Amino acid sequence: MQVTLGCLRNAYNMVLQKFGEKLYSGLVTTMTSHLRQISQSIESAQGEIFLEELNRKWVEHNKALLMIRDILMYMDRTFVPSSRKTPVHELGLNLWRDVVIHSNKTQSRLLDTLIDLVLKERNGEVINRGLMRNLIKMLMDLGLSVYQNDFEKHFIEVSKDFYCCESQKFIESCNCGDYLKKAERRLNEEMERVSHYLDPSSESKIIKVVETEMIENHMHTLVHMENSGLVSMFVDDKYEDLERIYNLFRRVPSGLTIVKDVMTSFIRDTGKQLIMDPERLKDPVDFVQRLLDLKDKYDKAITLAFNNDKTFQNALNSAFEYFINLNARSPEFISLFVDDKLRRGLKGVGEEDVEIVLDKVMMLFRYLQEKDMFEKYYKQHLAKRLLSGKTVSDEAERSLIVKLKTECGYQFTSKLEGMFTDMKTSYDMMQGFLACHGAELGDSPTLSVQVLTTGSWPTQSSPQCNLPSEILGVCEKFRSYYLGAHSGRRLSWQANMGNADLKATFGKGQKHELNVSTYQMCVLMLFNNADRLSCKEIEQATAIPMPDLKRCLQSLALVKGKNVLRKEPMSKDIAEDDAFFFNDKFTSKLFKVKIGTVVAQRESEPENIETRQRVEEDRKPQIEAAIVRVMKSRKILEHNNIIAEVTKQLQARFLPNPVVIKKRIESLIEREFLERDKVDRKMYRYLA
Amino acid sequence: MIFADGITLLCNDIQVDPQDIVMLVLSWHMKAGTMCEFSKKEFTEGLQSLGIDSLDKFREKIPSMRSELKDEQKFREIYNFAFGWAKEKGQKSLALDTAIGMWQLLFAEKQWPLVDHWCQFLQARHNKAISRDTWSQLLEFAKTVSSNLSDYDAEGAWPYLIDEFVDYLKENGVNQHGQINDSSLN
């Protein structure tokens, strides 16, 4: 249509002369019939030409509409609003929609063609994206509802079916890692498709389809896939796969919950196996190292692949807490691990690395339910380290104490600090002693004394044993020196805890230095004055308790490479009538032979039971104190609530057994601290 | 003070067996401190409160004293009284043998089907004295928990000894009639 000034003027005049109605309806009629022709030509287009023809006609129509609107501008501004008619441009679009797009043949053909192209592209073919974009934009221009009803709705439906089939096919043929890669690829592809030729409003819808069909509907299958699922990803440290599964699963509801749950139960099972494996339990240090390695492995996975997700970290922590406490010996083993590190493992290690190791130990400590058990063992092991002088670094020891104090409070560490203080005081005391009496000691054996404050140290008081005459002199000198400075105190020699260095000359003149325990020293010194002694005679001479003596004689006579004594008969057990001789024929490649062990070791079963009993006994007064505290403040409380409150109060140290709490309550009733309420027998009342 | 001999004579006079539970009821009325003894005060004031001033009246009173055991509230009072009365002076707890004797006496009246199992259990597993709380709670247990233990509440704040008793019964398969299936325990 050609625009001429004439047209404009005519149109203008028509409106002026109140022929607006005629002009408008004429426009409608003319345009409608024109569009009908166009529609037919589009319908008759063959094959690929269909879309191109549609596009071409659409472009022309738009151009024409602009011209028409310009020509009829006056009508558009005056007649149209006052008579509430559809404005010209909009009218043009509506007519295009109704006559061309919604013609029977074209409507379905357009949809089918567009969908077909999308599917082709999904199958890897190259399509004319520009053309697609134009036609999609056309639908949008005709109205959002046209786009949605004529295209998007069906596009989504078809895509659902497509991805449903594809995911089924892939699930059956791919392993988990590969499947996820494909899913990721499809997601990216769809996003790119939208950005290229669909309306942005479709993005979230199509993405949701892919997420649902490819991920959500197969979550369990993927995660549990044998040999390639989540568990094997963890086992083989497949960080890339793990990251992908995390990123994909977080898109769907409950996706991450499944990943977390599978991870948690796998860690629990792995940990449980480790904890229950009798082979592993033979070597406590190795056992704890494996625990740390397991933690490191999963920490790494969570950092590298799971975006440091807190819920996963919490799940890891709770899994560890669960299985570490399945083994009642965990507290002992962790203490032995620490002991090993502080005695030799951390030798030569830089300060920062020492801190790292200690922090890891603290992390394991936090998982323990029975922290009081740990404290007991830690104390025993620390005492041995301090007394045998076998600690790698004082700073490391103190650093750990500070960490424990920060975690558990002052009471936990006050006695431990007492031990350090005693060591220092003893050292100063020895300096003073030597300065004072050094000269007169002359040839006497060199004495080094540690004075331990009872109560700070985990010692069981040992019965007095008969020390060799050779050292009695210097021991007495020390005793009087000490008591001179501290008159109100009592000292008793702890012969079960000391050690001694002896110079020994054997048959062919070979000299060795023997590093032995105090008990061993007492026994050996007897052989300076006797060639042959029976076990019984040794017991009488030394006053060492028989069980300790037997162990002592075993270590001196029956251990290869350390047999400085000879036993007759050569049996494995020690009988009271067995005879012992100095072993002239003893040889060793080393000048210094270590026979005494004051080193922390894994407890035997009976020792373990005894320690546990002692800890349980220690817990009783703590539980009672907690009950009294709770009742004093609440005055009257129901049974289950007492259990809950007391547990809460004590759980930083240990988990009290409700049966034990009940027994303590009954004991307190007996001693008239509490009474049962007369009306409700489940309530208890505090008696002031 | 009236001691065991005197009590025997008394029982003769009122024609009551010294082991008869009504003697416990009498002691309760007298607020007697310890079994097998009455102080003068306990005896006279007790008789006064019962309105007894002759042997005949005494004999007449016996049946009504016996019937007091049927009263729930009074039975509970008498039962709880029995603990303090039966135990050794100065002791906090009641010796097991005495406790068992008292229970058998008391629960013959009250009809608790599990009394024998309870006594067997104590002799097999506990062998120590009985605390006052355990004593008084046992009555509540006998009254409120059915003998097949179907309504026993493990969170019911029962003394631990009673919890252990329940475990013992379960271990030994107590059936609905409160009879233990394991005959080796009889």
Say yes or no to pLDDT of A7 above 80. no
Q: How far apart are CA B146 and CA B114, in angstroms?
A: 10
CA A217, A223, A224, A227 torsion-angle sign:
positive
| Count of A-B CB contacts under 8 Å | 31
- What tokens appear for A569 in the block? 């008969």
Closest partner residue to B157 (CB to CB) among A659, A663, A681 is A681
* B-chain residues near A682 (CB < 8 A): 156-157
Rounded Cα distance between A271 and A265, Å, is 10
Cα A401 from Cα A273, distance rounded (Å): 32
Task: Look at B157 and A666 and tell me if their CB atoms are within 8 Å.
Answer: no
Out of A638, A640, A666, closest to residue B159 by CB: A666
Considering only CB atoms, B156 lies closest to which of A663, A666, A682, namely A682
Residue B174 has a pLDDT of 63
Residue A3 confidence (pLDDT) above 60: no
Rounded average pLDDT over A86-93 = 91
User: Using one digit for the tens of pLDDT, what is the confidence trace for A431-455?
Assistant: 888 888 877 777 778 888 889 888 8
User: What is the H or E stretch that residue A532 is in?
Assistant: strand A532-534
pLDDT at A387: 86
pLDDT digits (tens, 9 = 90+) for A178-190: 999 999 999 999 9
Q: What percent of chain A has pLDDT over 70?
A: 99
Q: What is the pLDDT of residues A596-635, one digit of tens each?
A: 766 778 888 888 998 999 999 999 999 999 999 999 999 9
Query: Which residue stretches of A442-583 are H helix?
Result: 469-485, 518-526, 535-542, 546-557
CA distance A76 to A23: 11
| Inter-residue contact B149 to B179 (CB < 8 Å) | no
**In the predicted model, what is the mean pLDDT of chain A?**
90
Question: If you average pLDDT over residues A222-246, what whole number do you get?
Answer: 94
Tell which B residues from 92 to 121 touch A, by Cβ distance under 8 Å: 92-93
Q: What is the pLDDT of residue A465?
A: 85
Query: Residues 617 to 676 of A: which have CB under 8 A from any B CB?
Result: 638-640, 659, 662-663, 666, 669-670, 676
Strand partners, B174: B180
pLDDT at residue B177, rounded to an integer? 52
Span A505-551, pLDDT tens digits: 988 888 999 999 889 999 999 998 888 998 899 999 998 888 888 88
Strands A579-582 and A636-638: unpaired
Residue matched to tokens 């892939």: A170
Q: How confident is the model at residue B186 (pLDDT cuts 50, 70, 90)?
A: very low
Chain B residues near residue A642 by CB distance under 8 angstroms: none
Element (H, E) at A579: strand A579-582
The answer to whether the Cβ–Cβ distance between A640 and B134 falls below 8 Å is: no
Quote the radius of gyration of chain A (alpha carbons, Å): 45
**What pLDDT does A561 receive?**
82
Please report how many Cα atoms fall inside a 13 Å half-sphere around the Cα of residue A387, on the Cβ side.
27
Write phi, then psi, for A324 (nearest 5 degrees): -60, -35
DSSP A201: G
A310 burial (CB, 10 Å; 0-12 / 13-18 / 19+) is exposed
Please list every residue in chain B whose beta carbon sits closer than 8 Å to the beta carbon of residue A659.
Answer: 160, 163
Q: Which residue has the tokens 């004295």?
A: B129
Token pair of A582, please?
A: 């100095």
**What's the first-to-final CA gap in chain B, in angstroms?**
42
Tens-digit pLDDT profile for residues B95-132: 999 899 889 888 887 788 888 889 999 998 888 899 99
Nearest CA in chain A to B163: A659
Cβ A224 vs Cβ A175: under 8 Å: no
Complex confidence, ipTM: 0.85
Q: Which residues of A touch B166 (CB under 8 A)?
A: none
DSSP strand pairing (A674-676 vs A592-594): unpaired
Select the residue of B92, B156, B157 nearest A670 (Cβ to Cβ). Answer: B92
Report CB contact under 8 Å: A669, B155.
Answer: no
pLDDT score of B181: 52
Write out the two tokens for A644.
């809950």
Identity (one letter) of the amino acid at A212? Answer: T
Please give the residue that has the higher pLDDT: either B55 or A313: A313
For residue A159, the model assigns a pLDDT of 96
Looking only at the bridges linking them, the beta strands covering A511-517 and A683-686 are: unpaired
Mutate to test the interface with A, among B155, B163, B166 (most CBs of A within 10 A): B155
CA–CA dist B24, B18 (Å, integer): 10
Q: Tell me what the mean pLDDT of segment A296-316 comes to.
A: 95
- Is the predicted pLDDT of residue B141 greater than 70, yes or no? yes
**pLDDT 10s digits, A362-408:** 999 999 999 999 999 999 999 888 888 878 888 889 999 999 999 98
Judging contacts by C-beta atoms under 8 Å, the chain A residues touching residue B93 are 670
Closest CA to A312 of A324, A323, A322, A298: A298
Share of chain A above pLDDT 90, in %: 56
Long-range contacts of A514-518 (CB under 8 A, 24+ apart): A514/A564, A514/A592, A514/A593, A514/A595, A515/A592, A515/A593, A515/A594, A515/A595, A515/A596, A516/A595, A516/A596, A517/A552, A517/A595, A517/A596, A517/A597, A517/A598, A518/A465, A518/A467
Count, residues in chain A: 688
DSSP secondary structure string for all residues of A16-49? HTT-HHHHHHHHHHHHHHHHHHHHHHHHT--TTH
Mean pLDDT for the stretch of residues A314-336: 94
**pLDDT for position B180:** 53
Q: What is the pLDDT of residue A492?
A: 87
The better pLDDT of the pair A94, B16 is held by A94
A462 pLDDT above the threshold of 90: no
- Tokens representing residue A534 in the block: 């029976």
Quickly list H helices, A341-454. 351-367, 371-387, 394-408, 410-441
Decide: residue A252, CB within 10 A, 0-12 exposed, 13-18 middle, 19+ buried: middle
The nearest CA of chain B is from the CA of A462 a distance in Å of: 34
Residue A47 backbone phi and psi in degrees, to 5: 50, -130
* Inter-axis angle of helices A394-408 and A351-367, nearest 10: 30
Which DSSP string do the residues of B104-122 spell out, in sequence order?
HHHHHHHT-TTHHHHHHHI
